[in-house]
A and B are shown apart, each in its own frame.
Chain A
Amino acid sequence: MRTRRLDNYGKINRNIILSFRWDKKNYKGFEGDTLASALLANNIGIVGRSFKYHRPRGIFSSGVEESGALVTIGSKDRKDPNVRATTQELYNGLEASGQNAFPNVNFDLAGINNYLGRFFAAGFYYKTFMGIPPFEWGRGTAIWMFFEKFIRKAAGMGSASELPDPDTYEHAHDFCDLIVVGSGPAGVAAAIEAAEKKLDVILVEQDSLVGGDQLAENNFDNSQIKNQLENLGIKIMTRTTAFGLYDNCVVGLLERVTDHISAPNVNIPRQRFWTIRAKHIIVGAGAIERHIAFNNNDIPGVMTVNASKHYLNRYGVLTGKRIAIATNNDSVYETAQQLSEAGANVTVLDSRTNFEIETNKSFEIRKGYVPYNINGSKKIHSLDVSKSEDMNKSETINCDQVLLSGGWSPAVHLLSHRGVKPKWDYNNACFLPSDTKENITMVGSSRGLWNKNDCIASGIAGTTDALNRLGISKTNYFFPKPGGWKNPIQPLYEVKYKKSRSKSFVDYQHDVTTDDVRLAHREGFNSVEHLKRYTTLGMANDQGKMGNIIGLSLMAELLNKEIPEVGTTVFRPPYTPVSIGALSGRNVGKHFRPLRVTPMHQWNIDHGAKMIEVGLYQRPWYYPKENETLSDSYIREASTVRKTVGICDITSLGKIAIQGPDSTEFLNRIYSNGFSKLQVGKARYGIMLRDDGIVMDDGTSWRLAENEYFMTTSTGEAAKVMSWLEELLQTRWTDLNVNVTSVSEQWAGVSVAGPKSREVLNNCVDDSLVITNNNLPFMGVTSTFLKGNIPCRIARISFSGELAFEVYVKSDFANTMMDLLWENTKKYDGCLYGLEALGALRVEKGHVTAAELDGRVTIDDAGLSKMASTKKSYIGSAMRKRGVLKNNDREILVGFFPTNLKETFNAGTIVCEKNNIKGQGIGRITSVTYSPELGHWIGLGFVKGGLDKWKDTNLVGADPVRNKQMNLKVVSPHMIDPKGERMYA
């Protein structure tokens, strides 16, 4: 192909010269170029290698439908693969390279695949996966495992950077009355009409300029339209693609903010992901020109006719010297004339025999001719053509470019996103949009209008439709009839090559040939959706914008059906690829989810805490001294608590204030155990079940006054419990006078645990009398003051099994409380302890947490049957008795010791009988810790039938993940102080 930049053509700015690199060589282009136009102007014909066969590929189009010129832009952490060169604007310093080739696109070693085509035919991947031998010497998955890495490497698109993305992306939202997609004649007319009728309008254009296909007209003035739109107050969003339509008139947009700038301001996002909520949507997305399938129709130099018009008039690039145009419709003649006026030698082959067209006779028209084979490999040498009515009459035309027009496909994609099936139009050989009840109107050539005036009229009609539907006007309107060419189109999808096996490409990007479609049919994949998956037709990132209809027509021919009977594949969002970065927006790294910290977070860190995430919370994990490891540290902390005293931040527990005259009745209904007789000044441990009888959560409720309770929940279930209580009060028990308020953020909590805990508190409270064993017995609650006149709530509650207190102060006093408690804890050689030590202490005691209460466990499974009242009904009381929850083989909570006390084991271990180590075994281990008290590893978990069934049996713990097995014995879950003598001390 010989391309040239012409002096008198194009709207590029020749005053600004841009340097760019292509495959490590320097080139120049102009401001206003795309990478594709600049490559063409530099006479670079081969820009990539094809997906399977590694055939040289050139530039096929000038827009989003591009299926050949997929390139990699940038390098290192800004490497962006599979970018369409046809839509990438050129900027100074742009770095691009061809893909899918080694060492480069001009000389690609894997080009040999072209001759091994048989192995890469449709279904290759499926067959190898499914175990049907694709090679005579091997079979099935084993050979796939062996070849996979080579094939993946050879048959891929560009590779993504594995480095973190340095760019930022934003999510943005907007509202409008009307959003217009596409700024061609129809979209612009619709927007202007709507703005004049006082609608708030957003106009979206994927190109950098407004104008749509008019940008390919040699006398088109883009700035005039832009000014007119702006003066009417229309919000114009260029470089923005409407990639999807969603429920309730929501449009998803991708705005490419800096992809065209060489050194973008680091404070602006690279792309914005917009959610636009409109009252009405008008889609004027245009139409896409199709190619024609025939042998070697992919040789660099093949292009759509319309693309060459864009390159000529917008970019001043004449894409060939001797150009053959193959068509079946009228749309090519204006282009043919302009190409020939620009100096090319043009021949038009029109498959139709009877038609009239007015031209200036500067080029040859051969009526009734079709192309059937291109000669050449890296570039076009000549084109074999024949009479469409008699394939034996053939001849060869010398040319360096072949332009194709097999008809036009209206861009019905966005409407298809809403589940609206397009209908086939025989007269225009294309799918047209169907009507929809949603507020979406299709205008312009995306409803099959080929004339500019019809497009403009349809834009105005579209806005009238919108105004009517929005109830603003009641005006009659009509849309122009689809079509608009002087002569009818003659369907032409494939020209068969008579000589031998041919490579006639249907889908350039995935190397799907006409033979692949026929193979799919032979093997029974006749439905469109099966054809798509078997051949991968239309599954590349162009989503078959050019090739789908050709594939469909071939299948129709094979099935002896009409195209509409074969159907169309459903288009799904996105219309063009959307980067993962834009989808995630700012929700990356630390912003991925909210972070919750307790009011003494910094205090904890200042005192040496290593933190761990629990749900959204950061909690102290352990407080290492000097060189202590996690396990050194938690063992020391847990031992210290048992020996003297320790303090632990428990603020992350959920806290709910329950107030009102019916509070007691309310608690009595939601907890499985009785609350009606709880005295003021006492707390009670309670279990909540779900409606279906499974345990939801456990916690404590403190009766502060006649009608006031303070409830604590587990950290993980706090939000769920709060919503649940609100649901019950607002939907089921609307007669109860109870108010619930989340006070989790308002109170900071500490557990003071250990035999010396009372001594520590004695030094911290204003009046030590309030916490004596008499005044504050086990489960007693008091509201009192810490030294310094700090109001606090203290309850004598123990999770560790030691004498222990929970102390709560208002969050603002958290640090003061910590200082006070810590100062006095140190006096008794006490420690700060974290979640790991807390875990060790509670496992020793057999106290369950979220690890055990995982949404599958009943109150009986957890060994807490005593907590289920028999004197009242409560949430879940009926359903906990249903048969499946009462089976004898339910897994019941037990403790585990290793048979050899020196051995360790892990949570997640599957418990099996000795001679039956398989499957899910008979139980599982949920929590494991080293017990400082017992001096060996212990675990909590579940086993079918529980302790009674297995207490004297040697069981095996299987840990296939760590490839480990150990002998276990089942013990009572209450592994130390089973009578609780320490707690009551």
Chain B
Amino acid sequence: MIRINCPYCGERDHSEFSYGGDATINYPSLDASEKEWTEAIFFRKNIKGFQFETWHHSNGCRMWLVVERSTVTHEIKSVKPCHPDLQKVVENNK
């Protein structure tokens, strides 16, 4: 029963969002090696505690968000747009 405070829409029920994945991955360039891509796609940490993950406000503003969530308690520490320019807009409007 997570609620996510979308920077654009406000606090909304998790059913409006779709889970993305690990937000800390730096995807390699398209011409990177198979090995680099394998690391990026298949290897994941199994974090107990807070982790950064992407969520898509798919039934809302369609923004992709970085959510800092505890895998133990579901507590959410922070929510930011993934896109750095949108992050700046949100910061400036605070």
Give residues in A with beta carbon < 8 Å to B: 246-248, 250, 275, 277, 438, 669, 691-692, 719, 723, 726-727, 729-732, 734, 873-875, 877-879, 881-882
Which residues of chain A are near B75, meaning CB under 8 Å?
248
Contact of A277 among B1, B37, B56, B83 (CB under 8 A): B1
B74:A726 contact, CB within 8 angstroms: no
Which residues of chain A are near B27, meaning CB under 8 Å?
691, 732
Measured CB to CB, the closest approach of chain A to B18, in angstroms, equals 7
Question: Quick one: which of B22-62 are within 8 Å of A by CB?
Answer: 23, 27-34, 36-38, 40-42, 54, 56, 58, 62
Most buried by B among A250, A727, A881: A727
Which residues of chain A are near B23, meaning CB under 8 Å?
731
A726:B56 contact, CB within 8 angstroms: yes
CB nearest to A883 among chain B residues: B34
Contact of B73 among A247, A669, A691, A719 (CB under 8 A): A247
Q: A726-B64, A873-B31, A874-B30 are in contact. Are A879 and B38 (CB under 8 A)?
A: yes
Q: A723-B56, A730-B82, A879-B41 are in contact. Are A873 and B1 (CB under 8 A)?
A: no
8 pairs, CB–CB < 8 Å, chain A vs chain B: A248-B1, A248-B3, A723-B56, A731-B20, A734-B84, A734-B85, A878-B36, A879-B41
Which residues of chain B are near A250, meaning CB under 8 Å?
1
Give CA–CA (A438, B75) in the complex, Å: 10
Give CA–CA (A882, B64) in the complex, Å: 30
B1:A275 contact, CB within 8 angstroms: yes
Measured CB to CB, the closest approach of chain A to B8, in angstroms, equals 12
Which residues of chain A are near B34, meaning CB under 8 Å?
878-879, 881-882
Q: A248-B1, A250-B1 are in contact. Are A882 and B38 (CB under 8 A)?
A: yes
Which residues of chain A are near B20, meaning CB under 8 Å?
727, 731
Give CA–CA (A879, B38) in the complex, Å: 8
Contact of A727 among B31, B54, B84 (CB under 8 A): B54
Which residues of chain A are near B86, meaning CB under 8 Å?
730
B2 at the interface (CB under 8 A from A): yes
Give residues in B with beta carbon < 8 Å to A: 1-3, 18, 20, 23, 27-34, 36-38, 40-42, 54, 56, 58, 62-64, 73-75, 81-86
Most buried by B among A246, A691, A727, A730: A730
CB nearest to B74 among chain A residues: A247
Give CA–CA (A723, B62) in the complex, Å: 8
A730:B74 contact, CB within 8 angstroms: no
Give CA–CA (A902, B29) in the complex, Å: 54
Counting from the closest, the 3 A-B pairs by CB-CB distance are A873-B30, A250-B1, A873-B31
CB nearest to B87 among chain A residues: A734
Measured CB to CB, the closest approach of chain A to B30, in angstroms, equals 4
Q: A248-B74, A727-B54 are in contact. Are A878 and B1 (CB under 8 A)?
A: no
CB nearest to A251 among chain B residues: B1
Which residues of chain A are near B33, meaning CB under 8 Å?
878
Q: A726-B64, A730-B63 are in contact. Are A878 and B54 (CB under 8 A)?
A: no
B1:A727 contact, CB within 8 angstroms: no
Give CA–CA (A150, B34) in the complex, Å: 60
Measured CB to CB, the closest approach of chain A to B26, in angstroms, equals 9
A730:B37 contact, CB within 8 angstroms: no
Contact of B58 among A277, A692, A723, A734 (CB under 8 A): A723
Give CA–CA (A732, B84) in the complex, Å: 11
Which residues of chain A are near B41, meaning CB under 8 Å?
691-692, 879
Which residues of chain B are near A731, meaning CB under 8 Å?
20, 23, 54, 64, 82-83
B38:A246 contact, CB within 8 angstroms: no
CB nearest to B42 among chain A residues: A692
CB nearest to B76 among chain A residues: A248
CB nearest to B32 among chain A residues: A878
Measured CB to CB, the closest approach of chain A to B7, in angstroms, equals 13
Contact of B30 among A275, A726, A878, A882 (CB under 8 A): A878
Number of A-B contacts (CB under 8 A): 73
Give CA–CA (A669, B31) in the complex, Å: 11
Q: A691-B41, A692-B41, A881-B34 are in contact. Are A727 and B64 (CB under 8 A)?
A: yes
Which residues of chain B are near A669, meaning CB under 8 Å?
30
Measured CB to CB, the closest approach of chain B to A731, in angstroms, equals 4
A727:B2 contact, CB within 8 angstroms: no
Give CA–CA (A669, B29) in the complex, Å: 11
Give CA–CA (A878, B47) in the complex, Å: 28
Give CA–CA (A602, B32) in the complex, Å: 51
Which residues of chain B are near A874, meaning CB under 8 Å?
30
Give CA–CA (A472, B54) in the complex, Å: 33
A726:B62 contact, CB within 8 angstroms: yes
Give CA–CA (A644, B23) in the complex, Å: 54
Which residues of chain A are near B54, meaning CB under 8 Å?
727, 731
Give CA–CA (A878, B3) in the complex, Å: 37
**Extra inter-chain contacts (20) besides given A726-B62, A873-B30, A878-B30, CB under 8 Å:** A246-B1, A247-B2, A248-B1, A669-B30, A691-B40, A691-B41, A726-B64, A730-B63, A730-B64, A731-B23, A731-B54, A734-B85, A873-B29, A873-B31, A874-B30, A877-B31, A878-B31, A878-B32, A878-B34, A882-B38
A248:B83 contact, CB within 8 angstroms: no
Most buried by B among A723, A731, A873, A881: A731
Contact of A691 among B37, B62, B82 (CB under 8 A): B37
Which residues of chain B are near A879, meaning CB under 8 Å?
34, 37-38, 41
Measured CB to CB, the closest approach of chain A to B82, in angstroms, equals 4
CB nearest to B40 among chain A residues: A691
CB nearest to B1 among chain A residues: A250
Give CA–CA (A481, B82) in the complex, Å: 51
Which residues of chain A are near B84, meaning CB under 8 Å?
734
Which residues of chain B are near A881, meaning CB under 8 Å?
34
Which residues of chain A are near B37, meaning CB under 8 Å?
691, 878-879
Which residues of chain B are near A277, meaning CB under 8 Å?
1, 3
CB nearest to B83 among chain A residues: A730
Most buried by A among B3, B42, B82, B84: B82
Measured CB to CB, the closest approach of chain A to B21, in angstroms, equals 9
CB nearest to B66 among chain A residues: A731
Give CA–CA (A504, B19) in the complex, Å: 52
CB nearest to B27 among chain A residues: A732
Which residues of chain A are near B73, meaning CB under 8 Å?
247, 438
Give CA–CA (A38, B83) in the complex, Å: 67
Measured CB to CB, the closest approach of chain B to A887, in angstroms, equals 15
Measured CB to CB, the closest approach of chain A to B13, in angstroms, equals 8
Give CA–CA (A732, B28) in the complex, Å: 9
A875:B30 contact, CB within 8 angstroms: yes
Which residues of chain B are near A248, meaning CB under 8 Å?
1-3, 74-75
Give CA–CA (A882, B42) in the complex, Å: 13
Give CA–CA (A879, B37) in the complex, Å: 7
CB nearest to A732 among chain B residues: B27
CB nearest to B75 among chain A residues: A248
Measured CB to CB, the closest approach of chain A to B9, in angstroms, equals 15
Which residues of chain B are near A246, meaning CB under 8 Å?
1
Give CA–CA (A651, B29) in the complex, Å: 36
Give CA–CA (A521, B70) in the complex, Å: 40
Which residues of chain B are near A875, meaning CB under 8 Å?
30
Give CA–CA (A879, B41) in the complex, Å: 10
Measured CB to CB, the closest approach of chain B to A696, in angstroms, equals 14
Which residues of chain A are near B29, meaning CB under 8 Å?
873
Measured CB to CB, the closest approach of chain B to A686, in angstroms, equals 16
A877:B83 contact, CB within 8 angstroms: no
